[in-house]
A = this chain, B = another copy of it.
């Protein structure tokens, strides 16, 4: 995956998204005539996947003076250890003081999403996982959330914005709404097939009106070889998708000559559920994961000054001076 071209927003550059005390700090220091070169280190207490580095880099490129900056970082998508320094930069404080909130925010939110995605991907042992949870986050971050999921290892994502950022085609099947509006699953699937360009995979959602097995066979008979898959999304009120249901659908499809049709499972999928499906031998071909990724808790990053004008320092609770980390690469 090629890193996208991030651009910091006007609001960020203007300092509007900052905690107000940083604006005040910058003001006080300016009036005091103070602008020492200071080194900031960023770390977190939780191990995981680092994400948001690219967006941070785009911001630092804009704000740090070219001739007085030094930036060291892990790469987007690297694993990070608990307490490991993931980003270190040295520059005159006033060039970056206003942006601490934004930098931590990029890393916190994106790394939370990427880490959750990685947990799903690892649980899936090679079965592709698609990020499906854009509807759980504010649309202003829907794209960057899906991008983070792909950084974490997802094979695809459902939001158009996420696809653009990640440089891939967004993925999806069809919503219940289409079937409800067309009044029948077969009718909806046939219409979908008629109007969509050939590169869009035909995957029919088979739990809207009738039993999943019955619908699967109906759409299979209607589209034949053209049908790439069926999606099972049985709601919790109906006992959600079980390993046995997947096996049953598979058995009926095979019995009727539809071995080529894939089974896509969504609805409350988590790493535990993925393991459950695998351990119970359910022949799932693709997992769609929603809130486990998109509602993942942000990872709490902390930024601390460790050196001022070359002199080790720190607040209580931190160790003074540069924290060695050979895994960091200089990026600026």
- Of B135, B196, B298, the residue contacting A19 (CB under 8 A) is B135
Whether a CB of chain B sits under 8 angstroms from the CB of A18 is: yes
Binds B, one of A65-73, A221-229, A237-245, A269-277: A237-245
Whole-angstrom distance between the alpha carbons of A238 and B317 in the complex? 6
A172 within 8 A of B: yes
Among residues of B, the one whose C-beta sits closest to the C-beta of A110 is B138
Q: Is the CB of A143 within 8 A of B16?
A: yes
A43 within 8 Å of B (CB atoms): no
Chain B residues near A252 (CB, 8 Å)? Answer: 320
User: Do A177 and B100 contact each other (CB < 8 Å), given the known contacts A195-B27, A237-B317, A319-B251?
Assistant: yes
Interface of A: prevailing SS: helix
Q: How far is the CB of A117 from chain B (nearest CB, A)?
A: 16
Interface residues of A in 182-197 (CB under 8 A from B): 182, 188, 191-192, 194-196
Query: Copies of this chain, how many?
Result: 6
Instruction: Given A105-B134, A214-B211, check contact A164 B16 (CB 8 Å).
Output: yes
Q: Could you tell me the distance between the alpha carbons of A74 and B309 in the complex, rounded to whole angstroms? A: 56
Please choose the segment from A119-127, A154-162, A257-265, A324-332 that sits at the chain B interface, where 4 or more of its residues have CB less than 8 A away.
A154-162
Measured CB to CB, the residues of A under 8 A from B are 9, 11-12, 15-25, 27-29, 31-32, 34, 36, 38, 52, 93, 97, 100-102, 104-106, 108-110, 112, 132, 134-144, 158-161, 163-164, 170-182, 188, 191-192, 194-196, 200, 207-211, 213-214, 234-240, 242, 244-245, 247-248, 251-252, 255, 291, 294-295, 297-298, 300-301, 304-305, 308, 312-321
Contacts A100-B177, A211-B214, A255-B312 aside, 16 further interface pairs with beta carbons under 8 A come to A11-B161, A16-B164, A17-B160, A18-B160, A20-B158, A24-B174, A29-B178, A105-B138, A180-B308, A211-B211, A213-B316, A237-B317, A239-B239, A251-B319, A291-B298, A295-B298
